[in-house]
Structure 1
Amino acid sequence: MLTLTPEDIRLGCQAADWREALSLASQELEKAGRTTPEYHQGLLDRENQSSTVLGNGIAIPHGTPDSREYVRSTGIRVLQFPEGITWHDGAKVHVLVTIAAQSDEHLDILRHLTRVLDKPGLAERLANATDRNELLAALSRTPATARCDRETLLLGLPTTDTRELALSAAARLQALGCVEPGFIAGLVAQAPVALGRGLWLAHFGEGVNQPALALATPSKAQENLSGVLCLATQGEDTQPLLEQIDHLLTQPTPLGMLSAEAILARLAGEQADAVTREVRLLNAHGLHARPAKQLVQVAREQAAPLKLRLLEGDAQAISATSLTRVISLGARRGQTLVVSASGENAQTSVDALAEAIEQGLGEPVTPLHSSERERTATDQTVQPIQSLVPDEPLKAVAASPGLAVAPAFVLRMPAMDYADKAEDPSAENQRLNQAIDEAFSQLEALIKQAEGGEAGPILAVHAEMLRDEDLHEAATEAIDEGASAEAGWWQAIDTAASAQEALADRLLAERAADLRDVGRRVLANLCGVSMPTPPDEPYVLVADDLGPSDVARLDTQRVRGLVTAKGGATSHSAILARALGLPAVVGAGERLLTLDDGVELVVDGERGCIVPAPGSERRERLQRRLEQLEELQRDAHEARLEPARTRDNHTVEVCANLGNTAHTPEAVERGADGIGLLRTEFIFMAHSEAPDQATQEAEYRKAFDALDGLPLVARTLDVGGDKPLDYWPLPAEDNPFLGLRGIRLSLTRPEILETQLRALLSAAGERPLRIMFPMVKDLAEFRAAKALVDKLREEIHAPDVQVGVMIEIPSSALLAHSLAAEVDFFSIGTNDLTQYTLAIDRGHAELSAESDGLHPAVLRLIAMTVEAAHAQNRWVGICGELGSDPQAIPVLLGLGVDEFSVTSRRVPLVKACIRNLTLDEARDQAQKALGLATASEVRELLEAL
């Protein structure tokens, strides 16, 4: 979303008129690599539709939906005009916040700005500012949103004790995540204070995550007790809540006589005699700038002052004549607006504004989709889902490369209808055991079907989950207390999955999807339902989320791509999609689920976007791109066994990354020059205890036999972080990715590492083995691990082998000169190196686009590593996803990389790309890339070459 730096701000700008100012802003976006020159016309077209002046001397120019294809990446440029510019609507503008957005991101940016900028005198201070950081601080601060809504009301509690009511309200705030346990502890030490009119106040200022106001009322109101307010304070952001308390104190009607809706209305400041009307918002993109401006104009024409609030939101009514406040409501399609007014002409004024909203405020409106109505009806606290817009790209997280166009098949979970209670615990426990046994048999069949594939080890973990004693015990306890088998089982699953989701580390939290996947399988058996059947024709699978068993069942002859509303690039479904060679985009949001079956859907796994119902022009472009891609793949496959040799006869190795030895023959058949990365943890994850030497040796020997003399790089056990082992419990860590993992974890259990090394050396015999240690930070760690290799070689009289390290921590790249003197090779893991260097999780839903291995900082670390290695006659490989990025290949080749290790399906394409280059061309591109400042500038350069 909005991420401003001082470099985004231009002070002291001058322009003759608004057009020149807009031209300056457009040029700034181009210089930053955010847009192409064509975007400028989109800015002009938007102004022709409606002025983008936000008020208070600020305008927010942004393009039209048609101009989004000219946006390279979302960004903002802020231009300050101290002398001011007269805009085309007559308003005086001092600050332009010019937005480039690839989808509806600008709506969130706009709402953010309205909350930040709606302060008295702020626009003048921004206009007169002489320091970028001053502007930055003002524009970047996100004020906390105070919470007071239906969820914070606890009405009719069976107590008349003010302390009990206060603690009940505080407990509700904790359950909602507004406060920490320390807040309740502090509240206990204070007695509620009488405010008058039967209202009491309990408040505390520590352990507050979000300012909030809860109200607890007794079932029988008394003269001196109508309710207790619990206030969680947080500085100046609490002011709106204090005003809401004031509203309650001025109301004549006792709380005990009011419904929840009436109490919320009073908290919002609506008078007891106020005229109100509810109206559903049907605008496709909600209450964004244009309809908001129309709403304000209608409100200003009315005789009575009008207020507006969200029925589904907090209890805060705003003036309907304030554009910034109207936009800051963040009202989305399907939500209900409450229009109110008091006094003379109130009814006429309310009706006029409500009818304008119903008519679309100058925009065409359509009735709600059935799924939108259901969502709104079942959960009023959740913002309704906006439908996807035909032929409009939706950005998400790129999870697996490739391009697909096919009708959508939306995987909607069947309804699991069951009774919550049951009278015979013994019979219910028997039903549960039978359903678990049935699920175990189903998983065993899937494991056998997926034998040798990526899904096998993951499904094996699922089978182990079914035998989890804690899950079974939790379900049994619930059943013994009167729950049905279904309710008891799902309660156990939901509790365990929720605890997993609550973990601070996002990647570990994503694994909750696996637990729910297992849980749904048993629940379906109990309910006697089966999963929906996909069509016989090719399709794109669309789902809220996918479990590994869902992916394992896919018919790759029919499914063309995967799209999920949830998940990240490192979730199991994304990993399996990459292994299957299916284009995949994840984290697309709940809007995805408004799609109807059969709607044509574009899945662009390279760029991380989808396009529903592409128009004829876009369809033609996609068809040409698909044809070119098919031709390239066909030619690459035919030449797959030829070496990757440039046009000027420079040869590099192109090897395969494998997560399972069973895929080795497939990699060789696809032309791989060897295995550049064998993730040996697959053996450990497939067993309930550490595999012995014989088990490991048998697995490794399969790979060596299939390679028939080609080299194999085996990475030693790399667990920890997002890959825990049940039989190797680790202490809780605030950030597991900066804790015990990789080689530092293996060195804490040297007997396990020694067994693995012995198995590798024995399986290899005289065949080429290269052992690689993961997450090495410096020479000390390498020496400790290398000493084990040397000791074992002497013991078993094994031949000399190459021993190297993965460069995936910035420290190892910076110390490459010292490491190169003792290692035999480097293999750069660009996935981790990028996220550690940029401090951006590559699977982050909002920041993943910025986690780009072509960032100059990452490229400089790669260049530094190669230079240090070559000075000692060592070779350097690339084993991250960057190695198969068509734009990155020339740069990596030009930096001197000797080996590319990629997913086996990409081997032919990577080889083909290298054959089309010369080493001089590649070196030229690499040097130009190193001289740039951002990843977007690098990609823009490479696109132009």
Structure 2
Amino acid sequence: MKDPKNKFSINLPLKGIVQAITDLPDPVFAEKMMGDGVAIDPIDNVLYAPFAGQITQIHNSHHAVTLRQGDVELLMHIGLDTVALKGRGFELHVAEGDQVEQGQPLITFDADTIARECVSVQSAVVITSGQEITTVTPLGSVQTDLNQIVFTVPSSNDPQGTSAPAQETATEPTGPAITGSIKIPNATGLHARPAARLAVEVRKADAKVTFTVNGKTCSGSSVTGIMSLKTKLGDTLEIEAVGPDAQQVVADVIAAVKAGLGEEITSFSEAPQQEVEEEAPLLQVKSGEEGVLIGFTASPGRAIGKLVKHNKALPEVTRESIGAAEERAAFKASVKSSIADLQSIIDRLTKNGQEELAEVFNAHIELLSDPELSEKPLADIAKGQGAAWSWKLAYEAQAETLAKMDDPLLAGRAADVRDIGLRVLKKLLGVDDGGEILEEGTILLQEDITPSEIVALDLTKIVGLCTTHGGSSSHAAIIARSNDLPYLVNVEDAMKDLADGTVLLLDAKRGKIKVAPTDAEQAAFTKKIENAAKQAEEYQRDAHKPAITKDGFQVEIAANIGSVEDAEKAVAAGAEAVGLLRSEFLYMERLNEPTEEEQAEKVGAILEVMGKERPVIIRTLDVGGDKPLPYLPMPQEENPFLGVRGVRIGIERPSILRRQVRAILSQAHKGHARIMYPMISALDELRAVNALVREEQKNLGVEHVEVGIMIEVPSAALMADKLAQEVDFFSIGTNDLTQYVMAIDRGHPGLAARADALHPAVLRMIELTVRAAEDAGKWVGVCGGLASQIEAVPILIGLGVKELSVSVPALPEVKHTVRTVSMEESRKLAQAALDCADTSDVKDLLKSHQ
């Protein structure tokens, strides 16, 4: 704060012993290369704002933060050499650009980690705007009052928070610009210490020096400016100098950076980096048939069409401009075209009754129409930078800022900004997604596809989908199955070499693609599609009959659904129950949590559609991992699939679970409701959520509602005997169970195809679960993708599974399949599968059985 004598006061930012800056065992701080200030040996683990102002910079490692008000800029650096922790042990409470009040917490840190792994926990509080300090607090004293003034600095009368730090007013140097560049050899980039040394080097010269890294520019004499470049090892530092000493200072800067600026360096070879050749993996599946490529079934079906390839790789984005007027026009045209594309998607989704999904794209239009997002790129274009370069920097910076917001709604918009950013960038780079050239009967090939991309596809033109990566149990695959879109994943790379327009026979049921078929082959395939359609009609005619094996055992065939519309389709297709209502569809594709009333309304409507005679298993919120929510702040996790997801969301945030449970219980009288918890891994988790459900049942006066758990992790299968004592049923989620048993991320681009639920290890987990449930008098269902695989049906019922919950389109055929087998032969087949050594053996067994 300012006092009447134009003194600006810096209050205590850190409780501890205030010391002289010269006492720090780091010459950069001790010799005041960065500026004057004090050191504090902390007795607490929270850094507070010492005055009201704006956060202008936070280091990537979260150990240093810069605060500015008017012409005063202050750097607070926690510990020495803490940059090496790379953020470990630091928790941010603010983001760059935030306005903060005096005394507001900025960073919480783990003092023990710093003391154990770094040079010192002593922290520096330094004026980087050039003023000399007048110390108020006695050096060596212990201070704990955040209102205590530590030192003051001279201040101008600039309005609070509006002016930049004091700058030198010397005459601008003139002359030709001398340039150079050097790769940064510092392992942690140009953080405080090397930035200070570099700025000192620049200040020796009679020249104006500018540094640029990855498109960001700063003054070479500004320590905080250099730090704001957020450099990393291997970045190229571009140098530009103007003035009498320009030639010399460029050479001195290059030499200083090359020497490491006081730190150990990582050497770079000046020789061009050797290109790594692609190799064929040892485990590679290839077709042995001439003109046939193979893939893995993600969504069954057959289609004849012409190939269209979508290449998602973008060309290099450069700064070059063809002229400000031309770049501005290209930018505005790309934004306008992107809005038109989004409107087309909205119109199609609305026409198909998918209004909630349409709202997501409406939000994208709003973002693109926001002048604030266009302001920065237009300004950079006017300075002579290319439109693509300017736009990419602007939207990535905005997305990064939003992602750090404490407000979960704003943080969730980061993904939307990246989505629209990429859309416009592709236009600017001339990358065509193929939407304009698609014709009816298109079979689309791309590297991978996200759920939102599948939603945006025009299924009136696309009859089939192939990806060179991806997994058969991904959420994109689930959406494809619900739309009856034939989809193969991990198709052979040779498909990328085919020309656009090549005729293909896509048999996504058998995992085969016939390339450039003869007329006779096309005719035969067409006949096969027609026969399959006739079979489907036959299956549908019997869809409402029970699924009873030839020797009299009945299996309940249920549906996996996510909406009232799905429920209506399920009843029409012969569903005897809902084995999985994915309640997260009530929460996703929206920008705020649905109210308890909204949830109750949708759950109640589904229960009424299914009727009291058809049980409905409602899975509680299952998000996290590959299913984040835009409005739910999730922790940053190195491996989200092993973090807070599934039932752990409800355990960590019981208010969300409580609202959902109340919504379900309030509608239970409308049908036969069951509640199921996802990703239970231990008994204490089950008991905790069960207690919450029973408490809400009592509060609402609701009679007993059956509860069950999903068996999705090995620990649940191994402890099924204990878990079975406290539930009414189990439902096996084979998609996640396979992922965790095989230690393969089911969304991994290269490995997902190997996460096959027919692996004997997964089948043994299913058997273990069934045996434990039977001993406890409980029943087991399967609601994962394996239940919809027709060839797997005999194995599952042979293992003792009593309910199969499948995608709605698969219902009639699964019921028909049960009627064609006997329980006796199914048990023998299941036992033989358990004795197999690998997935390929199980598949060979099934082929011989068929």
Counterpart position of 1:717: 621
Shift of the alpha carbon at 1:654?
0.9
Q: How far apart are the structure 1 equivalents of 2:305 and 2:455? A: 20
Counterpart among 773, 781, 788 of residue 685 in structure 2: 781
Which residue, 599, 604, 614 being the options, matches 1:701?
Answer: 604
Counterpart Cα distance in 2 of 1:527 and 1:390: 40
- Structure 1 residues 315 and 693 mapped into 2: Cα distance closer, same or farther (>3 Å)? closer
In structure 2, relative to structure 1, the CA distance for the partners of 1:610 and 1:862 (3 Å cut) is: same
Q: Does 1:864 align with 2:763?
A: no
Aligned amino acid, residue 481 of structure 1: D
Instruction: Trace 1:72-111 onto structure 2 (pairs within 5 A).
Output: none
| 1:722-761 alignment, distance < 5 Å | 722-761=626-665
Offset from partner CA, 1:232-273 (integer Å, 9 cap, x none): 9xxxxx9xx99x98xxxxxxxxxxxxxxxxxxxxx6xxxxxx
2-side partners of 1:515 and 1:545: how far apart? 21
Contact 2:295 2:488 in 1 (8 A): yes
Q: 1:407 aligns with which of 297, 306, 310?
A: 306
Q: Specify the SS of the correspondent of 2:574.
A: coil
- CA deviations 1:868-902 (Å, max 9, x no partner) are 11222211110110111122111100010011011
1:369-518 aligned at under 5 Å gives the runs 391-396=290-295, 398-410=297-309, 422=324, 441-442=343-344, 444-452=346-354, 457-467=356-366, 473=372, 475-482=374-381, 488-493=390-395, 518=420
Shift of 1:727: 1.8
Matched, 1:799 2:703: yes
Residue type of the alignment partner of 1:644: A
Match of 1:684 among 565, 584, 587: 587
Q: CA deviation at 1:551?
A: 4.0
2:725 is the alignment partner of 1:821: yes
1:588-607 superposed matches below 5 A: 588=491, 592=495, 594-606=497-509
Counterpart CA distance in 1 for 2:723 and 2:327 is 64
Q: 1:473 to 1:561 in 2, by over 3 A?
A: same
In structure 2, the CA distance between the partners of 1:927 and 1:562, relative to structure 1 (3 Å rule), is same
Give the SS at the match of 2:633: coil
1:668 corresponds to which of 571, 580, 598: 571
Matches within 5 A, 1:566-577: 569=472, 573-577=476-480
Q: How much does 1:557 deviate?
A: 5.4
Query: Structure 1 or 2: larger helix share?
Result: 1
What SS is found at the alignment partner of 1:765? helix
Q: Distance in 1 between matches of 2:289 and 2:833?
A: 37
Letter in 2 for 1:739: G
Q: Is the 8 A contact 1:643 1:911 kept in 2?
A: yes
In structure 1, what is the equivalent of residue 229 of structure 2?
A: none
How far is the alpha carbon of 1:703 from its aligned partner? 0.7
Residue identity in the other structure for 2:604: R
Q: Percent identity?
A: 35
1:931 corresponds to: 835
Give 1:299-314 correspondences, 5 Å limit: 314=273
CA distance in 2, matches of 1:923, 1:448: 48
* Contact 2:783–2:805 under 8 Å retained in 1: yes
User: Is the contact between residue 213 and residue 231 of structure 1 (CA under 8 Å) also seen in structure 2?
Assistant: no
What SS class does the counterpart of residue 728 from structure 1 fall into?
A: coil
Q: Structure 1 888/646 Cα, relative in aligned 2: closer, same or farther at 3 Å?
A: same
Q: Deviations over 1:440-484 (max 9, x none)?
A: 7555434423435xxx55553444455569997554323233368
Report SS of the residue matched to 1:821.
Answer: helix
Q: Give the Cα–Cα distance (whole angstroms) in 2 for the partners of residues 520 and 925 of structure 1.
A: 50
The answer to whether the Cα contact below 8 Å between 1:775 and 1:806 also exists between their aligned partners in 2 is yes
- Specify the SS of the correspondent of 1:697: helix
Secondary structure of 1:789's counterpart equals: helix
CA contact (8 A) 1:170 1:184 kept: no
Deviation string, structure 1 residues 549-570 (Cα, Å, up to 9, x no partner): 7644655455321124565556
Residues 789 and 732 from structure 1, CA distance in 2 versus in 1: closer, same or farther, beyond 3 angstroms? same
1:637 Cα deviation after fit: 1.9
Q: Is the 8 A contact 1:390 1:612 kept in 2?
A: no
Paired residue secondary structure (1:843):
coil
2:744 pairs, out of 840, 843, 846, with 840
Q: Verify the 8 A CA contact 2:312 2:447 in the aligned structure 1.
A: no
Q: 1:911 Cα deviation (Å)? A: 0.9
Assess if the C-alpha contact under 8 Å between 2:661 and 2:693 holds in 1: yes
- Unaligned 5+ residue runs, structure 1? 1-156, 191-210, 233-237, 246-266, 268-312, 317-327, 333-387, 502-510
Specify the code of the residue in structure 1 equivalent to 2:803.
E
Q: 1:420 and 1:792, CA in 2 relative to 1: closer, same or farther beyond 3 A?
A: farther
Is the Cα–Cα contact under 8 Å of residues 766 and 799 in structure 1 kept in the other structure? no
Contact preservation (8 Å) 2:367, 2:417:
no
Distance in 1 separating the partners of 2:707 and 2:362: 36
Residue matched to 1:763? 667
Q: Distance in 2 between matches of 1:876 and 1:935?
A: 23
Letter in 2 for 1:169: K
SS across alignment from 2:703: coil
Aligned-partner Cα distance in 2 for 1:184–1:392: 61
SS in 1 for 2:680: coil
In structure 1, the partner of 2:734 is: 830
Q: Distance in 1 between matches of 2:509 and 2:437?
A: 25
The answer to whether the 8 Å contact 1:459/1:548 transfers is: no
* Structure 1 SS opposite 2:790: coil
- What are structure 2's unaligned runs of at least 5 residues? 1-176, 199-232, 241-245, 261-265, 281-286, 404-412
Q: Which amino acid aligns with 2:359?
A: A
Show CA shifts across 1:512-533 (max 9, x none): 9976653465579999999744
- Cα drift, residue 721 of structure 1: 1.0
Between the aligned partners of 2:473 and 2:194, the Cα distance in structure 1 is 40
Q: In the aligned structure 2, how far is the partner of 1:900 from the partner of 1:689?
A: 33
The amino acid that maps onto 1:448 is T
When structure 1 is superposed on structure 2, of 760-769 and 414-423 the one drifting more is: 414-423
Q: TM-score, normalised by structure 1?
A: 0.55
Specify which structure has the bigger relative contact order, considering alpha-carbon pairs within 8 angstroms and separated by 6 or more residues: 2
Residue 613 of structure 1 is matched in structure 2 by 516
Structure 1 pair 588/461, CA: closer, same or farther in 2 (3 Å)? farther
Show the counterpart of 1:254: none
RMSD over aligned Cα atoms: 5.0
In 2 relative to 1, CA 776–471 (structure 1 residues): closer, same or farther, beyond 3 Å? Answer: farther
Closer/same/farther in 2, CA of residues 630 and 440 from structure 1, 3 Å limit? closer
Q: CA deviation at 1:860?
A: 1.3
Which among 477, 481, 487 is matched to residue 584 of structure 1?
487
- C-alpha deviations, 1:879-937, integer Å up to 9, x for none? 11011112211110001001101110011111111111000010000111112222222
Aligned partners of 1:447, 1:549: CA distance in 2, in Å? Answer: 12
Question: How far apart in 2 are the matches of 1:939 and 1:606?
Answer: 14
Tell me the amino acid that sits aligned with residue 697 of structure 1. Answer: A
Using the alignment, how far apart are the partners of 1:617 and 1:638 within structure 2? 32
**For the residues of structure 1 that align with 2:458 and 2:327, how far apart are their CA atoms?**
40
Amino acid at match of 2:657: L
Residues of 1 paired with 2:839 and 2:396: CA distance? 41
Matched, 1:169 2:183: yes
Aligned amino acid, residue 704 of structure 1: L
**Which residue of structure 1 lines up, in the alignment, with residue 562 of structure 2?**
659
